[in-house]
Amino acid sequence: MIQIIPAIDIIDGKCVRLTQGDYNQKKEYHSNPVEVAKMFEDAGIQRLHLVDLDGAKKKQIVNHQVLRNITAATKLAVDFGGGLQSDEDLKIAFDSGANQITAGSIAVKDPGKVQHWLTQFGTEKIILGADTKSGMIAVHGWQETSDLSIQQLMNQFIPFGISYSICTDVAKDGLLQGPSFDLYKQLGEEFKQINWIASGGVAEFSDIEKLNAMNIYGVIVGKAFYEGRITLKQLAQFNA
């Protein structure tokens, strides 16, 4: 059964969504992320994807207090990402209650550091953020595109036991036009040892059902929920 992982993206301590990672296309949905997290928990959802968009821009953890508030008020297993660049960032994230962290840009800029984190913290604690733009990995809140393909990125971490990866097709994100099913099918076949978490483009409940049928490990749901196209009741079906 696919894992349902709602997303809360944070700017200035508030719950927002961007379109295709564009900070100029920001829409605020809620001023209190803790209330949103409690709503997910009350519906029976067990996980949360929390993104520090201020941190992604600043290249260091910023909204750790929001993480601390959510993990204090709920029992949600939170994976936290956005700008995590240093050992100190990870210490703050885990001390603030994160269950896992997502290593995105740093995995491209300093793969040795993330390989060290996998050894230090364990493969259950580190998710590889593999965000693609026209087949290449995008970094720093998708404001830059690297010269690395997703396959090249994965092959740097497979020997170190990486077992979780969030893959976002930037071209799909926030557009409510459906996920990149072909991409996830291809990655699932190429890297069977990875628990793939699909992110970006989910527009309706049938998209989640299709990903579930593909045996994708998890799906991040953001804008479709906030825009009322998918209900909490529907999401909760996968957590029964």
Q: What is the pLDDT of residues 64-74, one digit of tens each?
A: 999 999 999 99
Please identify which of the residues 54, 79, 89, 131 carries the catalytic annotation: 131
The CATH number of 3-239, from 1.10.287.90, 3.20.20.70, 3.30.70.260, 3.30.230.10, is 3.20.20.70
- Tokens coding 196: 């793939």
List for the chain the helix, strand, coil content (%; round to 5). Answer: 40, 30, 30
User: Nearest Cα to 224, choosing from 214, 234, 216?
Assistant: 234
For helices 64-73 and 87-95, angle between their N-to-C axes, nearest 10 degrees: 30
Given a cut of 80, is residue 159 above it in pLDDT? yes
Output Rg (C-alpha) for the chain, integer angstroms: 16
User: Nearest Cα to 20, choosing from 147, 187, 170, 135?
Assistant: 170
**Pairing mode, strands 136-139 and 126-133:** antiparallel
Is residue 131 annotated as a catalytic residue, yes or no?
Answer: yes
User: Comparing 194 with 139, which gets the higher pLDDT?
Assistant: 194
Please identify which of the residues 9, 52, 89, 169 carries the catalytic annotation: 9
pLDDT digits (tens, 9 = 90+) for 187-235: 999 999 999 999 988 999 999 999 999 999 999 999 999 999 999 999 9
Cα 141 to the center of its chain, rounded Å: 12
> Lowest-pLDDT range, 9-13, 22-26, 38-42?
22-26
Given a cut of 70, is residue 140 above it in pLDDT? no
Strand-pair partners of 219: 4, 198
Q: Which segments of the chain does DSSP mark as H helices, in order?
A: 33-42, 53-58, 64-73, 87-95, 105-109, 111-121, 150-157, 181-190, 205-213, 223-226, 232-236
Is residue 52 annotated as a catalytic residue, yes or no?
Answer: no
